[in-house]
Amino acid sequence: MEISLRNQVAVVTGGSSGIGSGIAKSLASAGATVIVNHSSERSRDEAQAVLKEITDAGGKGITYQCDVSKEDQVVKMFEDTVSQFGTVDILINNAGIQKDSKFTEMTLDQWNAVIGVNLTGQFLCAREAIKEFLRRGIDPSRSVACGKIIHISSVHEIIPWAGHANYASSKGAIRMLMQTLAQEYGANKIRVNSICPGAIQTPINKDAWSTPEALNSLLHLIPYDRIGQPEDIGNLAAFLASDLADYITGTSIFVDGGMTTFESFSTGG
Ligand code: BGC
């Protein structure tokens, strides 16, 4: 059994770092041409480094700067991708940020920034991707499905998170966005799913693993007793995007070392 994404074009938002970079590399190694999206000039070098790893390993792709919270930029990213590569087969809706704050001190800017990238960004990219999937139609030389969307959500899709109301709200909403799209476009053979990562060792949660004390307290939340790596998510993303997962749609898959078993209850309750 082989996971193949040959002849397929994948847009990975936030592909320049963290989980996104792991997914970009996994999809490329399964044969997809990958658009490694990054949000700003500042992340250009990182995106190019990810692309270099992809091409050094024999894969294909480009980098593309676009702030997913901006409608005109998202529309242009999809237009440019289609004009360069013919179509888009896979969208990995990954770009995400945290702006943490105690709730009573959370500014509207912090709220809007997180909702803008994590939720509105996923809406805008999904809309443009689905329009392109429908325009192209099913092409069996690419995939038995018309298109695949994978939302990168979080364990905080279901675990409330004090001090992170904006982030947890955005992730909870992604579940409904994902399921609604799966329902609305199932008959068109568009598959829509979410991956919900737990604690993955990336820059977004550096404070939670960069000292031995922090890592030790983080591991108390993870029955499997290790922090996750971007390739743990990349492996599942490649499978979910492939035809091996053709009957999977409308679901959230948790990749969290057991975090959602609520380990604190192993000795209490
Ligand atoms: C957050 C991380 C956090 C993890 C587990 C993720 O969605 O981005 O900062 O470590 O959830 O709590």
pLDDT tens profile 178-190: 999 999 999 999 9
Contact partners, residue 186, CB within 8 Å, separation at least 6: 249, 250
Ramachandran category for residue 65: left, alpha or beta (phi over 0 → left; psi -120 to 50 → alpha): beta
Residue 60 lies in a domain: yes
Ramachandran category for residue 250: left, alpha or beta (phi over 0 → left; psi -120 to 50 → alpha): left
Tell me which residue has its CA closest to atom 12 in ligand 1: 199
Q: Ligand 1 centre from 205 Cα, in Å? A: 6
Nearest in space to 224 (alpha carbons), one of 207, 199, 249:
199
Residue 210 lies in a domain: no
Q: Number of folded domains in the chain?
A: 1
pLDDT-derived band at 266 (thresholds 50, 70, 90) equals confident
Residue 225 lies in a domain: no
pLDDT at 100 over 90: yes
Which residue among 195, 204, 260 has the greatest number of ligand 1 atoms within 8 angstroms of its CB, and so is best to mutate?
Answer: 204
Identify the pLDDT of residue 211.
97
Residue 41 lies in a domain: yes
Residue 264 lies in a domain: no
Q: What is the mean pLDDT of the chain?
A: 98
pLDDT tens profile 23-65: 999 999 999 999 999 999 999 999 999 999 999 999 999 999 9
Give the pLDDT mean for 143-166. 98
We report the CATH number of the domain holding residue 120 as: 3.40.50.720
Domain span at residue 152 reads 9-202+230-258
- Ligand 1 proximal residues by C-beta, below 6 Å: 98, 154-156, 198-199, 204-205, 208
pTM: 0.98
Residue 266 lies in a domain: no
Residue 81 lies in a domain: yes
Q: Ligand 1 centre from 54 Cα, in Å? A: 26
Residue 3 lies in a domain: no
Which residue among 171, 174, 200, 222 has the greatest number of ligand 1 atoms within 8 angstroms of its CB, and so is best to mutate?
Answer: 200
Catalytic residues: 167
Q: Ligand 1 centre from 196 Cα, in Å? A: 10
